[in-house]
Amino acid sequence: MRLLKALTLLLAASSVVALIVASRATPRPLTAIAAVQPAMNFGYVRIEGVVTAHPALSEQDKFLSFRVWDASGELRVTAYRAVVERLLAERRIPLPGDRVGVEGTLRIRDDEPSLILNAAEGLTVETPPAATINLAALDGTALGERIHTAGQVRRIRSAGDRLRILSVRDGDATADVVLSLDLPAFIAVPQLTLGEWISVTGAVGEYRGAKQVLAAHIEKAGATTTAGHFRPIAELGDHLLGRWVGVEGVVSDLRPFKQGMRLDVTDASGASIVVVMFDSVWQMLPFSTTLSVDDPVRVEGELTEYRGQIELLPELSVDVKLANTP
């Protein structure tokens, strides 16, 4: 009798294990994020989508959180402890632009759904190839799409302790590149200075209506020419006001004013333009104390108008170079 009871219990336990294994092996139906309802609280579901922001990761606290968008809506995924340890060991942390499949337990609080990743096996990560684009094409690129682009660093600032924002420019085009400081093992952040060129791979994001790049990889790009923005001075006119242009010529006059220095630059055709450098630019030039008439220069800046006169307004000292220097 005891043997019969033991066999019965063993058979029952085996059946339960078999059911669990079968349930995990069977792909679950895909759930659209927009279809999640309060009645589904604590339900086990599968979603697929694109990671739309840098994840929040604490290796010390064994915590991971990231957001997934599937064209119908957006949802936050969280993981804890052993699951995070496993994902870290396998370097399977989702980055912006990655396509992910996630299975886990739904939690709905205050009508906002989130998903708890119960096991590392419940997460799949695919990194699509990045499309190479010019910075000017960023506005026409879909949110979440992975891209590769380049630009010149114009400003570096921090947004709290977790993000660094690089404002970059390539000719008329400008954008922000957002770097996460939470992921040093996954996203290396090089030491950068204003004027350096960088190449960046990441996903297209948006902040207050402006497209930005959420960086997954960034590196220095070395010297990059902007020759396409240089024009003969005679071609500069009202139709180019507000545009980013460059000129090359010789200094034909220097006139200090209260806030800086004005240069007259004359090119080979004999046409001239006034270059206005405020102290924030002029005083940072390494050759400001030695610059003189007939020195060859290359200048980039925004074309502006003041009292009916066309002027060129550099933003940074790196926008003004001696023509015989790199």
Q: 18-125 and 131-220 share one CATH topology?
A: yes
**214 close to 202: Cβ distance less than 8 angstroms:** yes
The helix (H) or strand (E) run that includes residue 282 is helix 279-282
Whole-angstrom distance, CA of residue 214 vs CA of residue 201: 8
**Collapsed DSSP state (helix, strand, coil) of residue 35:** helix
What pLDDT does residue 26 have? 56
Give CATH for domain 131-220. Answer: 2.40.50.140
Task: Specify the CATH superfamily of domain 18-125.
Answer: Nucleic acid-binding proteins (2.40.50.140)
Which residue ranges make up each domain of the chain? 18-125, 131-220, 227-322
2 has a pLDDT exceeding 70: no
Nearest to 133 by CA among 146, 121, 120, 123: 146
Q: DSSP letter at 250?
A: E
Higher-pLDDT residue of 82 and 24 is: 82
Q: Which superfamily does CATH assign the domain made up of 227-322 to?
A: Nucleic acid-binding proteins (2.40.50.140)
Average pLDDT, the chain: 90
Please report the pLDDT score of residue 186 as a whole number. 76
Determine the residue type at 223.
A
Distance CA 128, CA 202 (A): 11
99: pLDDT confidence band, cut at 50, 70 and 90?
A: very high
pLDDT confidence band for 162 (50 / 70 / 90) = confident
Phi, psi angles (nearest 5°) of residue 144: 90, -15
